[in-house]
């Protein structure tokens, strides 16, 4: 609510309805977050992003249930489909979101997209491809769809009170809270969701293996899951790099990672490598982009061409291999350097009774068994009620059999229609429900033959009812029903594994061995141009070519494996390696670092620090007189991150930065002309990269102007400027600032 402008007349009509209009109220931000943001966060977690034990998110459930109510589960292979636009429009009655969001959900569930191991939607038309970034789906008015036959296992019992129904968003329809799925679909199809402060990433497993594992666990709760569940089975195939320990971690905790590798074949005649299967976490375009980048950097020289030959028959990525190159060695290089081998991170976060829980395969299957047991019990109880009702009606009809003529006479002699049922109740000693059933029998059915046929069902109904009552009281019989259904589903829909297993490469250090590691001369200019020149080339070259007004600020011999840390004025550090640069000549400008490392607009390099093993420290001096000593190891990362934010403290302007292999003396001078010499050993290192450091020069109404490493003879009477403790104010120098030649 904003304040009213000064001098404006109050709007009495609004003030009458809006209490406190025009008043600005100060509130604690935590109260605002709790009242406004927390309900949104909980809604995303519970009602949008995370799947439930039936394996579906609300958006999936609303779409599939709408298609079921539209009758799209019927029809043969080539019939029964309708335009996707019709389905999207009908789904909006349950899902209060835009048509594009609904259609995007539909596309991912479709067979044509290939994102699921067992698609729920039988599609016709262009639904895009999960393995392609650029192959987008056609508009919903052009595509057609119906439910896939496997959906019969989702909806077969939905009309038998197996699950609860709730009103839709405008209270005009009802929809199921869950699907009474007959198999653990939560593990059969992969599911990804990002909520607030949490996420879910469930990989897919082979349907037959999941069913067999569930059956084994129902028979033996101590069953070893890994004996029947080999590992994830991805829709795009590929190979899983075998890691039994990591699989056990996923089975027990629901967290872990699976390394997936693409599948390829080599044609000796054409010398072409054809990749036909890729990891589920990448796309064909991402692989091509990475390969092209490596070709430009000179890291891949084994191929003469790369082509995307994907067509209607499926994915195909072709590499033309140069003569004399080993295809297996080249592919191992691609696996190492590109997304052709990638990691699928598992996070089995599932909603159980409205609460998010990260569970392993063991726990998920136990929860599904409990859920399915409840569904079966509710189904049996529903059918039991129907049979009891039918038995009750037939028992009334049996009494009519004793004297049909009497029933006809009672109906004929009754003057008022409303008295027919009461008179039948009195005449035969039956209740109102039975009497109403008898009264509604057609005249043509009031014969002994019809009544005898109907009443013959009484004994079979009694037997069925007794059997159902016994089943409800017997957990063993309930398990038997679930097991029989799982066996039937495994036989009907089971298919061979698409993702097979491969062994990890033995030579983990192979990459390091293949990196050239000869000594080169490295140069960096003030404008940000970097050159890598071999000693032989440097001896043969003339002067260094520089941009007008530019100057050389770094010159040193380094090895190819040396990492380079580029610190910038935006408090960031960009990491690369000497081997990321090609050899050049002194007569060339070199690589422009801001462009090569994709720095932010206007970002400038303030220091480049080379390191091979991240030993030693860096020392930073700030305008406010503080100094920070940070171990280089703080900038080392396990992953190949190119950019680190918060590389150093932004509380005060950086004056100078130095490599510090070992402690040494520095000379500082303030803008007021005071000088201080101190040893860096007086400053203790801090592991945090963005530490603000400690005060080394005490400043009053001035600032630190310049710093350099102290060299003997730089200033007369140096001892009197030395300080054994920090902070220190320093002393006024007898000579001017310019004469110190900082």
The residues annotated as belonging to the active site are 142
What does each C-alpha distance from 58 to 39, 179, 180 come to in angstroms? 17, 11, 14
Q: Can you tell me which residue has the tokens 């002699």? A: 413
Residue 692, phi then psi, degrees to nearest 5: -80, -10
- The closest of 630, 546, 594 to 555, measured between CA atoms, is 546
Adjacency order of strands within the sheet including 529-533? 552-559, 519-525, 529-533, 591-592
Beta strands, E only, 39-88: 82-83
- The long-range contacts involving 397-402, CB below 8 angstroms and separated by at least 24 positions, are 397/434, 397/437, 397/438, 397/441, 397/451, 397/454, 397/455, 398/451, 398/455, 398/458, 399/428, 399/429, 399/430, 399/434, 400/428, 400/438, 400/451, 401/448, 401/451, 401/452, 401/455, 402/428
Query: At CA 667, angle to CA 675 and CA 693, rounded to 5?
Result: 100
CA angle (190 as vertex; 110, 236 as ends), nearest 5: 70
Q: What is the C-alpha to C-alpha distance for residues 244 and 230, in angstroms, rounded to an integer?
A: 10
Residue 416: exposure state from Cβ atoms within 10 A (0-12, 13-18, ≥19): exposed
Helices (H), 534-647: 535-540, 593-596
> H or E stretch including 464?
helix 457-472
Per-position b or e across 283-308, b if 16+ CB within 10 A of its CB: bbebbbebbeebeeeebbebbeebee
| Structure-block tokens of residue 615 | 């030993």
> Alpha-carbon Rg of the chain, whole angstroms?
38
* Dist CA 685 CA 693 (whole Å): 9
């Amino acid at each position: 609510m904003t304040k009213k402008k000064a001098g404006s007349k109050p709007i009495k009509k609004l003030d009458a309805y809006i209490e406190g209009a025009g008043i600005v109220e100060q509130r604690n931000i935590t109260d605002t977050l709790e009242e406004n943001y927390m309900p949104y966060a909980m809604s995303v977690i519970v009602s949008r992003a995370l799947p439930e034990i039936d394996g579906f998110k609300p958006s999936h459930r609303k779409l599939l249930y709408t298609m079921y109510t539209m009758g799209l589960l019927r029809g043969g292979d080539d019939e029964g489909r309708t335009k996707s636009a019709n389905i999207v429009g009908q789904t909006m009655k349950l899902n209060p979101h835009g048509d594009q969001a609904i259609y995007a959900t539909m596309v991912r569930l479709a067979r044509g997209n290939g994102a699921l191991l067992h698609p729920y939607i039988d599609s016709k038309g262009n639904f895009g491809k999960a393995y392609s970034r650029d192959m987008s789906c056609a508009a919903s008015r052009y595509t057609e769809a119906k439910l896939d036959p496997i959906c019969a296992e989702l909806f077969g019992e939905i009309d038998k009170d197996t699950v609860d129904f709730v009103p839709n968003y405008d209270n005009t329809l009802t929809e199921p809270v869950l699907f009474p799925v007959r198999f653990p679909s939560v593990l059969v199809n992969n599911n990804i969701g990002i909520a607030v402060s949490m996420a879910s990433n469930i990989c897919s497993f082979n349907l037959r293996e999941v069913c067999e594992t569930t059956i084994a666990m129902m028979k033996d709760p101590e069953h070893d899951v890994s004996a029947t569940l080999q590992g994830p089975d991805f829709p795009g195939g590929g190979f899983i790099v075998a890691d039994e320990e990591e699989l056990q971690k996923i089975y027990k905790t629901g967290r872990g990672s699976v390394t997936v590798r693409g599948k390829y074949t080599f044609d000796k005649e054409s010398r072409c490598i054809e990749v036909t299967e890729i990891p589920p976490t990448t796309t064909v375009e991402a692989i091509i982009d990475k390969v092209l980048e490596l070709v430009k950097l000179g890291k891949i020289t084994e191929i003469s061409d790369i082509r995307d030959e994907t067509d209607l028959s499926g994915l195909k990525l072709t590499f033309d291999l140069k003569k004399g190159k080993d295809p297996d060695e080249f592919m191992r290089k691609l696996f190492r350097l590109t997304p052709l081998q990638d990691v699928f991170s598992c996070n089995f976060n599932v909603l159980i009774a409205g609460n998010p829980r990260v569970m392993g395969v063991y726990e998920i299957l136990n929860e599904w068994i409990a859920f399915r047991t409840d569904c079966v019990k509710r189904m049996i109880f529903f059918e039991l009620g129907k049979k009891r009702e039918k038995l009750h009606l037939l028992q009334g009809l049996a009494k009519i059999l004793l004297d049909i003529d009497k029933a006809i006479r009672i109906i004929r002699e009754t003057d008022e229609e409303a008295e027919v049922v009461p008179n039948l109740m009195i005449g035969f000693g039956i209740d109102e429900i039975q009497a109403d059933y008898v009264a509604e029998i057609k005249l043509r059915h009031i014969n002994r033959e019809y009544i005898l046929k109907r009443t013959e069902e009484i004994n079979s109904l009694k037997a069925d009812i007794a059997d159902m009552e016994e089943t409800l009281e017997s957990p063993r019989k309930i398990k038997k029903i679930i097991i029989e259904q799982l066996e039937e589903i495994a036989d009907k829909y089971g298919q061979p594994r698409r993702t097979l297993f491969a062994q990890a490469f033995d030579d983990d250090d192979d990459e390091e061995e293949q990196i050239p590691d000869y000594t080169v001369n490295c140069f960096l200019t003030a404008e940000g141009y970097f050159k890598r020149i071999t000693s032989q080339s440097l001896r043969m070259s003339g002067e260094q070519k520089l941009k007008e007004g530019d100057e050389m600020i770094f010159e040193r011999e380094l090895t190819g494996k040396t990492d380079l840390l580029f610190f910038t004025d935006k408090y960031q550090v960009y990491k690369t390696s000497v081997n990321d640069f090609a050899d050049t000549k002194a007569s060339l400008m070199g690589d422009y670092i801001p462009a090569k490392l994709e720095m932010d607009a206007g970002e400038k390099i303030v220091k480049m620090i080379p390191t091979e093993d991240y030993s030693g420290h860096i020392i930073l001096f700030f305008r406010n007189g503080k100094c920070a000593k940070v171990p280089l190891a703080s900038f080392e990362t396990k992953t190949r991150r190119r950019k680190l934010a918060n590389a150093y403290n932004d509380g005060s302007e950086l004056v100078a930065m130095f490599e510090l292999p070992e402690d040494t003396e520095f000379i500082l001078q303030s803008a007021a002309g005071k000088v201080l010499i101190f040893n860096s050993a007086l400053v203790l290192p801090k592991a945090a990269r963005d530490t603000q450091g400690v005060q080394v020069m005490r400043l009053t109404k001035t600032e630190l102007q310049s710093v350099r490493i102290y060299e003997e003879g730089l200033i007369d009477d140096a001892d009197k400027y030395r300080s054994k403790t920090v902070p220190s104010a320093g002393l006024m120098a007898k000579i001017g600032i310019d004469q110190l030649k900082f």
